């Protein structure tokens, strides 16, 4: 806690408004918050590991907690690594041809399994709807596109305590594939909507606001576009991206 206060005082100093890396004082503080989240997850894993040893009769509860925090730590590390590659302009695409519908199905399955195994009760109140039709081939970086879909899915779950998340894929004219993730959650706060895909933008008590920024950079690197809007019926929001399909 003392370290947080100390760093806050530093970034508020006028002499530290801008660093040599180009980060402003708000960015520095939020990056520290991200590192603090990592430390929190690590500490939770250590604590539950000790409890698992001391109270083996409650091992199911403790293992679920360890898995949940390890998964959170993994996602945060992936985001921090990806943003480092983006900021240093070393993001390289390893393009292969694959079926977008098949990739989305596997991401949904893995996400559900991770949530169920991690004891995330909240996700049990949310239904994921995805009914692929045919095959939609694209030539893209399979890992990075999977990360974008995972980020959008995770974001939808975060703001949908109960309801439905539907994912759809369709081909567009001019050789584009369009992917939409639509939820029935709380929608997007109008205050942050214009800067939603900017770095560190979030109103959630969890998360660092890096996922959507990274997703935008990945889609842009593929020559595509990504956008978001609240649903016309006033219930939830939709996140959509498009990328080139296979020639």
User: What global pTM score does this model have?
Assistant: 0.70
176-183 vs 237-244, strand pairing mode: antiparallel
Q: Are residues 104 and 198 in the same domain?
A: yes
Which residue from 144, 149, 148 is spatially nearest to 93, judged by alpha carbons? 144
pLDDT given at position 227: 96
For the residues of 57-78, what is the DSSP string, one character each? GGHHHHHHHHHHHHHHHHHHHH
pLDDT at 77 over 70: yes
Domain limit, last residue, from 38, 70, 87 = 87
Burial of 9 from C-beta contacts in 10 A (0-12 / 13-18 / 19+): exposed
pLDDT at 101 over 90: yes
Q: Are residues 44 and 143 in the same domain?
A: no
pLDDT given at position 31: 53
The winner for highest mean pLDDT among 18-27, 33-42, 216-225 is 216-225
Phi, psi for residue 220 in degrees, rounded to 5: -65, -40
Q: Are residues 160 and 187 in the same domain?
A: yes
Q: Are residues 129 and 237 in the same domain?
A: yes
State which residues form the domain around 116: 95-244
Average pLDDT over residues 152-168: 90
Instruction: Map residue 215 onto helix, strand or coil.
Output: helix
Average pLDDT over residues 48-72: 83
Q: Are residues 143 and 55 in the same domain?
A: no
- Residue of 50 and 247 predicted with greater confidence: 50
CATH number of the domain that 237 lies in? 3.30.565.10
pLDDT given at position 120: 52
The total domain count for the chain is: 2
Q: Are residues 54 and 164 in the same domain?
A: no
Q: Please report which confidence band the pLDDT of residue 103 belongs to, taking 50, 70 and 90 as the band edges.
A: very high
CATH number of the domain that 72 lies in? 1.10.287
Domain limit, last residue, from 87, 106, 125 = 87
Query: Each residue of 33-58: pLDDT tens digit?
Result: 456 567 767 877 888 888 888 888 88
Q: Are residues 103 and 175 in the same domain?
A: yes
pLDDT given at position 182: 96
Domain limit, last residue, from 87, 105, 136 = 87
Q: Are residues 129 and 157 in the same domain?
A: yes
Mean pLDDT rounded to a whole number for the chain:
78
pLDDT at 121 over 50: no
Q: Are residues 62 and 115 in the same domain?
A: no
- Give me the residue label for tokens 């539950």: 48
Residues counted in the chain: 247
């Amino acid at each position: 806690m003392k370290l947080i206060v100390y760093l806050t005082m530093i970034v508020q100093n006028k002499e530290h408004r801008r660093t040599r890396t180009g980060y402003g004082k708000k960015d520095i503080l939020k990056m520290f918050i991200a590192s603090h989240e990592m430390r929190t997850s690590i500490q939770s894993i250590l604590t539950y590991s000790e409890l698992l040893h001391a109270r083996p009769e409650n091992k199911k509860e403790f293992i679920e907690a360890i898995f949940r925090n390890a998964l959170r730590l993994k996602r945060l590390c992936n985001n921090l690594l990806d943003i480092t590659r983006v900021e240093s302009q070393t993001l390289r695409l390893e393009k292969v041809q694959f079926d977008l519908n098949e990739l989305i199905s596997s991401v949904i399955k893995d996400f559900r399994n991770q949530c169920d195994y991690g004891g995330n009760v909240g996700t049990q109140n949310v239904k994921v709807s995805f009914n692929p039709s045919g095959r939609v081939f694209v030539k893209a970086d399979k890992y990075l596109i999977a990360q974008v879909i995972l980020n959008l899915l995770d974001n939808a779950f975060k703001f949908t305590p109960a309801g439905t998340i539907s994912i759809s894929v369709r081909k567009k004219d001019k050789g584009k594939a369009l992917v939409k993730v639509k939820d029935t959650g709380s929608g997007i706060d109008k205050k942050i909507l214009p800067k939603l895909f900017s770095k560190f933008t979030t109103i959630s008590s969890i998360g660092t606001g890096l996922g959507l920024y990274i997703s935008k950079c990945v889609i842009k690197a593929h020559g595509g576009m990504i956008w978001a809007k609240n649903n016309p019926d006033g219930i939830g929001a939709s996140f959509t991206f498009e990328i080139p399909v296979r020639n």
